[in-house]
Amino acid sequence: MRKALIKRPETAVDVYNLLPEGVLCQVINNVIYMSPAPSFEHRDIITELSMQIRLFVSERILGKCVVSPVDVYLDKHNVFQPDIIYIAHKDAMAEVKNGKVYGAPELVIEVLSPGNADDDRVRKKKIYEKHGVKEFFIVAPNTIDVTSYYHNGKKFEQKPVQKAKIVSKMLKKTFKF
């Protein structure tokens, strides 16, 4: 009897792709990071913002807004599950294939969790910047402070922190929560 050859995983993304659906983890710089379910406050902010953005973009047929968990493959060493993403219909940088997103969404919102705040503020921010995410927002749920980053074509420019609002220059709209 002939044995089937099984390809060994070579990268963290290869291992990630073997996991069952629903596992809360991401791959950042070829390392798998697992996390517990988000807090109630975290989910509440995500729900409120995603409802507003989704309604706005769908009424204007601008694209799609979805919430996590959805796999966003940025490159062979980075698969993120951002809290909220927006992908434009026109000139989109990302493509949806087989239920997964390949490439950078135009807009990303990450709501901080106590155990992985540095992942969002430092590691993931650098990778989003490298891949050209046009707008990146980080929300601190305990203070409702929003840190905004806008890509200028080369790098992110940080704007002053605002309370409880996402100002999207690309969508020309402010979303309050």
pLDDT tens per residue across all 177 residues of the chain: 556 666 788 899 999 999 988 888 999 999 999 888 889 999 999 999 999 999 999 999 999 999 999 999 999 999 999 999 999 998 889 999 999 999 999 999 999 988 788 889 999 999 999 999 999 999 999 999 999 999 999 999 999 999 999 999 999 999 999
Which amino acid, one-letter code, is at 152?
A: N
**Predicted local distance difference test score (pLDDT) of residue 9:** 83
CA 161, CA 144: separation in Å to the nearest integer?
10
10 Å Cβ neighbour count for 147? 19
CA 87, CA 63: separation in Å to the nearest integer?
6
This prediction has a pTM of 0.89
30 within 8 A of 22, measured Cβ to Cβ: no
Which amino acid, one-letter code, is at 38?
A: P
